Structure 1
């Protein structure tokens, strides 16, 4: 194991040398042969990299400084940051990359550690608002229960019955109603519907109780999306859920920059518009029957929305500035805005009559204003893009650089700790620090304790043509896949950089291999992974979502094949805007933006292979640019030190030995 430590000026000062020494001593003791882990964890063996990480985290907490730390797979980073967090006695927010990992941390890891350490600090699991039932909204829906159809009415009554018994109002614990129920969005807590202290259910409010519990806790477990949503809701008073803690620890920190882009930007989903217009029609029928004009204008806007939808889908432009160059699309867009404006004007004559109508009016004003801002497209510091879902369109306005916004977030009286297995690029952490606007931080790289030269082989096959989607390159790629799958007896992940390549390869492979093929899109991510584990000899084909957050250990996964280096598309709206901005600053967009992103993404994919000290496996990358282009060195230097070969037969032989 090798350890590289890189320093930049650490901010802050130690509260007291004794406090730092005491915390470090306590933490190191728990990782020693006589510590809590040795006493409670079966076959525990001390790992120097884990102890080192715990020391760095202790130092950052005691000094109120910032820490960026890459901990390679197998370091054991969860315990390495949780033990200092718990023993520090400070209020700590731990943020994870997903709700699933958030719950695993709270339900499994934290209770186990608290038991081992024999301490009982208050802990809290906090979810976003829409995970909690709103008693006020439920009460309003019950008033109109007779207008619900049979299935929806049945769901509403079950929710009402459950609400009377629930202690926390967490919708995740509501098992009597399907998570896809059409009623749920109408009864969960939302920022827009929250009336704060004016609410008749203020004292019983589940969201308020969750916030109070979090305020009193020493360790609060959240996810990145909730954390940043909450930071941006601070100005709304009651809507804030999280306290201002002493320490914030981001696990899976490599996800944070992209999440920041979404939260510091804006987005409008056409589903929002459709839902609002349908809600106005419902409110008219239930409460404002004397104004048929509301329903008339709402229906007209729905027709215009549908036309706008269809024209955008036909054009399929992902960059909004391309839409601006098409006159018919611009005309249709502004007609939608004008229809919503006309409806908005009509509703001003009915303000104050009914709460539901007032809420809908406020939403319409906000939504239509955001639409206008988006259609005008005047912010040169943002990228404007269009995402096409199966049924709905999302308009995104994303900041080119979130560093400035993040700098305002990272206050000096809080210690900010970022950790992940994939943060460094070419043995440097500066790329992440710059993206997050962290001017002052301690930067550490702790390598994996795994014996990669013996456990893993990295093969870039010779004689491959240019990676891409030509008939020849696809056939070459499929031939490599067939040989590897047969050598591994299934037990393979094939990771793609595009859905179209995945579909083409899946079709051909289905005729060429006799092992079960599991293809992304055939079911949910979790159901496919469960099936993969149960079958024991399957081949899983996936794109971006399978490159990370997937943990398959042992012989179940012996081979990972990647079609090509995961560079962002040059047509991506955000990349184009960032590239233009980089050029204005005299920077090379490829080296400054594209290359670092691709390196981190490749590391994520490679990280699926070796998950345990006993794992063996082969990584096959079918893109010879990593060998024959100068920038390939940045990729190689950033990957674990696997045994490298260009001879496919050598890799196939190694695979056969595993089985």
Structure 2
């Protein structure tokens, strides 16, 4: 029997409801109503829900309307700040007006998005010791601080977002003094929390949600209220985020920054202890030696580092240098608050390094990520289902939705990863007419997938006629930066259409340029596979270089694979294949974004038709017309105006 909430929600999506009255050219979509009903019933009947809603279902309104009409306190968590702000600034106000209801809403970001008045005040007191450029930005921020109502640094336009002053004036857990702070009553972070506590609907992003839920990353106990309902949009990102938050990480940047801060403290606060600076300098040298050796070795698995005597020796030398410095600092505790804080951070860091270096947890992967100029040591649990079962407690209804959750027409993989086996599972297909709107082409005569020059030539030989047939208007998506760079280099001068290559500018800047130019070609890796919405005639062709399988050398994959084998399961079918299917669906989802869109998807990997597992990919993708004849696909492209 339908609940009162469900009946009310169904009415609002009907021809007599609020949407029909207020949305221009509104037409009823049964799949959207079906989703709204499923969300309403999950809230009313108090059960968890996992729901895939294909592109075009209209899932945002389908969960927002039940949330607003439920009378419950609801947290809506998104995968990106862009969607977070779209919900709060655009969608929610529009729906509140359409529904003629008053529901207090709040936008809550992580504390490092808010100005800290105390930190700003301290910097202003010492402004004379800074360089001119730093002082200029500091004065602009100080002027803005007297005008802003919410202290959201994202609204600060007078200072560049990469200004070195910003990290020094935002709120942090480490520098927050809570109720002892003289600015407590007007604190922007505290006021944001109060608004969230008073609101019925609070919009956050996944990282803030898990940081608050798991790390209690505040100075005021939890930032978030204890909600009745939590709705995760872009929920396909949640498993990886859980792995990140249930694990831990240490960055060489973090170590370097802390050591330099301690040296600065010695020069300004505790000048009578030269040993502190000497030991900090020794630790910096140890960090540099370790950093250089790790980059030379190019090792991604920490257990391989331990097997290398030279690397292992440098690692333990660094850890001992940090421990020695922390030991000396204990004799100076109580002399200065900043020094006490630096000691706590150093002591915790040295202990984390020791635990990491010892590598004792067989249920975790110990991986090494080499960035542009830094090293990240990451400890990742190979199975987070048990922790998630405790996190997703029974007092709250948990709703997960995304356009890409199912694998081979099943949501079991996602449910198992998060320990949500008892959740109701629903798949709602896209209402778009894929057989007539899109063609999926895997060209004949493709060579073996690999990173050879032959593969680059193969990609380029398909890209050039496809780009010309589409008159630009093409995304070329890659699974590796190396292949992207090689193809980008080979395409230069061989097409009349402008090439936009990831790395030339920010993601948003490249997307804006792609839209402005109208006939451009964009080459990107993983960050362009999802969260990118280019509608209409601006994008007609998406080319993907190969199936996005995780590297078999990935430390987390190897640990999870070994664990699967111990349980008698096949790692490929249980781990690698489902991850690749969901990733491919994200890339494919860039092509058709509207009911009037038309386009061609070209996959340059014949494993999808030559291997038995290829059917799992095909079953999970929208029902596009399929062909192996590249000329047919190009002809379809040429007919798109």
Q: What is the TM-score with the length of structure 1 in the denominator?
A: 0.96
Mapped pair 1:471 → 2:450: no
For residues 32 and 561 of structure 1, the distance between their equivalents in structure 2, rounded to whole angstroms, comes to 39
Q: How does 1:137-286 map to 2 (within 5 A)?
A: 137-234=119-216, 238-286=220-268
**SS of equivalent residue, structure 2 residue 494:** coil
Matched, 1:389 2:371: yes
Structure 2 residue matching 1:32: 3-state secondary structure = coil
Note the C-alpha offset of 1:237.
Answer: 6.7
Instruction: Give the Cα–Cα distance (whole angstroms) in 2 for the partners of residues 235 and 152 of structure 1.
Output: 29
Q: CA deviation at 1:294?
A: 1.7
Alpha carbons 1:233, 1:240 under 8 Å: kept: no
1:417-436 matches, cutoff 5 A: 417-436=399-418
Q: Give, in angstroms, the shift of residue 169 of structure 1.
A: 1.5
Which of residues 635, 644, 659 in structure 1 aligns to 2:626?
A: 644
Alpha-carbon shift at residue 488 of structure 1 (Å): 0.8
Report SS of the residue matched to 1:43.
Answer: coil
**SS of 1:82's equivalent?**
helix
**How much has 1:602 moved relative to structure 2?**
0.5
C-alpha deviation, 1:471, in angstroms: 2.3
CA distance, structure 2, for counterparts of residue 269 and residue 109 of structure 1: 38
- Give the total of aligned pairs: 641
Distance 1:279 1:348 in 2: 16
Instruction: Give 1:362's aligned residue.
Output: 344
Distance in 1 between residues matched to 2:386 and 2:343, nearest whole Å: 34
Match of 1:406 among 381, 388, 391: 388
Answering whether residue 567 of structure 2 is matched by residue 548 of structure 1, we say: no
Please list every run of 5 or more consecutive structure 1 residues that lacks an aligned counterpart in the other structure: 1-16
Which of 478, 485, 494 is equivalent to 1:503? 485
Q: Distance in 2 between matches of 1:87 and 1:399?
A: 39
Q: What is the rounded CA distance, in whole Å, between the counterparts of 2:510 and 2:219 in structure 1?
A: 42
Give the CA deviation at 1:231. Answer: 0.4
- What are the superposed Cα offsets for residues 480-519 of structure 1, whole Å, 9 maximum, x if unpaired? 1111111111111111111111111111111321211111
Secondary structure class of the residue paired with 2:3: helix
SS at match of 2:185: coil
Name structure 2 gaps, 5 residues minimum: none
Q: 2:590 aligns with which of 600, 608, 623?
A: 608
- Counterpart Cα distance in 2 of 1:572 and 1:235: 29
User: What corresponds to 2:516 in structure 1?
Assistant: 534
Say if 2:551 is the partner of 1:580: no
Aligned equivalents of 1:362, 1:561: Cα separation in 2: 51
- Measured in 1, the distance between the counterparts of 2:429 and 2:452 equals 38
Structure 1 residue 185: Cα displacement: 1.4
1:290 to 262, 272, 280: 272
Alignment partner of 2:146: what SS?
Answer: helix
Contact 1:93–1:248, Cα closer than 8 Å, also in 2: yes
For the 8 Å contact 2:173–2:219, the answer to whether it is kept is: no
Distance in 2, matches of 1:650 and 1:158, equals: 59
Deviation, 1:55, is 0.2
Q: Is the 8 A contact 1:502 1:541 kept in 2?
A: yes
Contact kept, 8 Å, 2:439 with 2:633, in 1: the verdict is yes
Q: Report the 3-state secondary structure (helix = DSSP H, G, I; strand = E; otherwise coil) of the residue aligned with 2:484.
A: helix
The answer for the alignment partner of 1:10 in structure 2 is none
CA contact (8 A) 2:440 2:626 kept: yes
**1: distance between equivalents of 2:165 and 2:343?**
21
Alignment partner, residue 304 of structure 2: 322
CA contact (8 A) 1:461 1:622 kept: yes
Moved more, 288-297 or 22-31: 288-297
1:634 aligns with 2:596: no
The CA distance in 2 between the partners of 1:422 and 1:81, in whole Å, is 17
User: Distance between the aligned counterparts of 1:184 and 1:285, measured in 2?
Assistant: 23
Per-residue CA shift, 1:251-306, capped at 9, x if unaligned?
Answer: 00000000111111101111111111111112112211111222222122112111
CA distance in 2, matches of 1:396, 1:459: 39
Q: Which residue of 1 aligns with 2:421?
A: 439
1:454 corresponds in structure 2 to 436
Secondary structure in structure 2 of the residue aligned to 1:567? coil
1:235 offset after TM fit, Å? 8.6
Per the alignment, residue 36 of structure 1 pairs with 18
Corresponding residue of 1:345: 327
Maintained 8 Å contact 1:579/1:593: yes
1:154-181 CA distances to partner (integer Å, 9 max, x unpaired)?
2223322322332222111222222112
Query: 2 CA distance for matches of 1:237 and 1:270?
Result: 26
C-alpha deviation, 1:138, in angstroms? 2.2
SS of match in other structure, 1:521: coil
Indicate conservation of the 8 Å contact 1:555/1:615, yes or no.
Answer: yes
Q: Classify the secondary structure of the residue corresponding to 1:89.
A: coil
Q: What's the secondary structure of 1:238's corresponding residue?
A: coil
**How do 1:114-133 residues align onto structure 2 when only pairs under 5 Å count?**
114-133=96-115
Whole-Å separation in 2 of the counterparts to 1:357 and 1:177: 30
**Structure-2 separation of matches of 1:301 and 1:113:** 57
In structure 2, the residue corresponding to 1:658 is in which secondary structure? coil
Which digits, 9 at most, give the CA deviation of each residue in 1:122-154, with x for residues without a partner? 100000010111222223323322221221122
Q: Given the alignment of the two structures, is residue 99 of structure 1 paired with residue 85 of structure 2, yes or no? A: no
Counterpart CA distance in 2 for 1:307 and 1:313 is: 10
2:636 matched residue in structure 1 = 654
Q: For residues 235 and 118 of structure 1, what CA distance do their matches in structure 2 show?
A: 36
**Aligned partners of 1:560, 1:234: CA distance in 2, in Å?**
42
- Offset of residue 42 of structure 1: 0.4
Aligned to 1:512: 494
Native 8 Å contact 1:468 1:474 kept in 2:
no
Distance 1:263 1:246 in 2: 23
Is the partner of 1:28 in helix, strand or coil?
Answer: helix
Offset of residue 234 of structure 1: 3.4
TM-superposed deviation, 1:565: 0.6
**Aligned partners of 1:239 and 1:126: how far apart in 2?**
15
Q: What RMSD, in angstroms, separates the aligned Cα atoms of the two structures?
A: 1.2
Deviation at 1:202, TM superposition (A): 1.9
